Amino acid sequence: MKVTVVGAGNVGATCADVLATREIANEVVLVDIKEGFAEGKALDIWQKAPVIGYDTRTVGVTNDYSRTANSDVVVITSGLPRKPGMSRDDLISTNAGIVKTVTEQVVKYSPNAIIIVVSNPLDVMTYQAHLTSGLPREKVFGMAGILDTARYRAFLAEALNVSPKDIQAVLMGGHGDTMVPLPRYTTVGGIPVTELIGKAELDAIVQRTAVGGGELVKLMGTSAWYAPGAAAAQMVEAILRDQRRVFPVCIELQGEYGINGVYLGAPVILGRNGIEKVIELQLNDEELAMLETSRGHVKEVMDALDNMTKANA
């Protein structure tokens, strides 16, 4: 199995490192536009192999997509990271151009690859990659829900003083402030979380999750990378090992939840063919209202991208 990670920055390099360490693929190719950057990161990861004990070969290239040919999965992390005071939507114009160019190269050399988008603003960058690739929605989707639920579960584990391994959760909607929390579907060792924590404390955790990326930007001056990179690698693992894991991912909804043509996080079964099935939960009125708010926000950003595209045509 061969995986390409486009963008050798913090997120891309972390993703490649996790893929190699866990021996998820035979070969991982890192691509970056900066001369020697991907080569150096890949070499560093490869030199760690004798220490940790893994066989995955990591290779880095500068803008040479021919080296990525016949990849099974391609993870796109390219783009500018957020800076303090910058919203995800501020990134749309520059990053859309980057994702479009990258996607064109990806499908040229790996027409059968499954594409996972990590670039921000996530929902609209997934839209851009889907438009550019011409591939079915089952093969082009975004990583956001796994990261958001990881943050949510980590905060819950801390508050409850339990292992994060025992916490299962689902979040839906857009990536960021308008995400849709679903405490009804959150369990701790099979126990509904509402039986273990008060509403006020749970609401505070949900709110912290919604601005989780911003919290890290304020602390570090740039976007997170360990958790996002690992989350993308987990998606790759589910695909290559045909695990049929149930994950929330960003996908174009085609009638599910009464929504058409908007890219939102929803629970899916992830396996060798990419998205094997979109799972429709029975949301209550409050949850549906939050999902509609999230849909409206993402649609606004999609429309902004469409208008930019028309203006530049």
What positions carry a catalytic annotation? Answer: 175
Query: Residue 274 annotated as binding?
Result: no
82 is in an annotated binding site: yes
Query: Would you give the end-to-end CA distance of the chain in angstroms?
Result: 38
107 Rama class: left (phi>0) / alpha (psi -120 to 50) / beta: alpha
| Residue 283: partners with Cβ closer than 8 Å, 6 or more residues away | 182, 257, 291
Q: Are 242 and 271 in contact (CB under 8 A)?
A: yes
- For residue 96, what are its two tokens? 């859309």
- Establish whether 272 is an annotated binding residue: no
Length of the chain counted residue by residue? 313
22 is in an annotated binding site: no
Residues pairing with 57 in the sheet: 27
- The answer to whether 95 is a known ligand-binding residue is yes
- Distances, alpha carbon 166 to alpha carbons 169, 193, 234, in Å: 10, 11, 17
**Is residue 140 a known part of a binding site?**
no
Q: Is 110 annotated as a binding residue?
A: no
Residue 176 · residue 88 · CB < 8 Å: yes
7 is in an annotated binding site: yes
Residue 241 marked as a ligand binder:
no
312 annotated as ligand-binding: no
Please name every residue paired with 59 in a beta bridge, in sequence order, or none if there are none: 29
Binding-site annotation: residue ranges for NAD(+): 7-12, 32, 95, 118-120
Binding residues for substrate: 82, 88, 120, 151
Q: Binding site: which residues?
A: 7-12, 32, 82, 88, 95, 118-120, 151
